[in-house]
Amino acid sequence: MNRDKIDNKTKLFNLILLYISYFRDFDGVKKLNKLLYFTDFEYYNKYSKSITGFNYLKYPMGPVIENYSEIINEMENKKILKRVESRILGINKTYTVHKLKKLVEPDLELFEKEELQVIRDVWYKNELKSGKELEEESHVDAPWVLTEFYQPISYDFVKYRNQDLDDYTISEIKAENSYNRAKEYKSEAEKDFYENNDYDHITLYFF
């Protein structure tokens, strides 16, 4: 199999199917999103690229893969999985767990052996943890800490893991990241403008 021709979405679909095939009754979508995040960022930390090629956004309850709802909707429409709700009895109340149930088996042939090893490592490390526990762990992970809410989490921030980050350093890194994102936006906007207009030359001022 030529894995170079496998598109990112197909690989993501199968990674989701793989993880939910391991899930217990009380494992839901929160745990799934955190596992996807830790998997992609751990692989990036080792090999300077992610497995899925997707971005993650910083939400109050931890990282969430970008366009999560659309991804699950597409998988459901393709009859790859379905949404289910489970009622779990807690100590003082009953909880509703939003779960995903696979309708087809994941294709492990889509993954390189290094990818499968990282996936196994992430699962074995977090198998017995709840989505809430993984949420709390993500809140002290450098890439999440260094990102503004509702913004994409930079994969490059994995280099700050295992470093002591004080408030000043965090604010400086956030400011630099915001500035770089603004420059990227300006560059993309200028490119779109030139491609959609007949002007020989025009300068856009954003600042």
Helix (H, G, I), strand (E, B) or coil at 191: helix
For the stretch 91-149, pLDDT in tens is 777 777 788 999 999 999 999 999 999 999 999 999 999 999 999 999 999 999 999 99
This prediction has a pTM of 0.82
Which helix (H) or strand (E) is 82 found in, with range?
strand 81-89
Does the structure show a pLDDT above 90 at 87?
Answer: no
What is the DSSP code (8-state) at residue 59?
E
Q: Which two tokens stand for residue 188?
A: 């993309």
User: What is the average pLDDT score of the chain?
Assistant: 88
Contact between 186 and 204 under an 8 Å Cβ cutoff? The reply is yes
Domain ranges of the chain: 3-165
Neighbours of 103 (CB within 10 A): 13
Contact between 81 and 99 under an 8 Å Cβ cutoff? The reply is no
Which residue type occupies 133?
E
Distance CA 178, CA 6 (A): 32
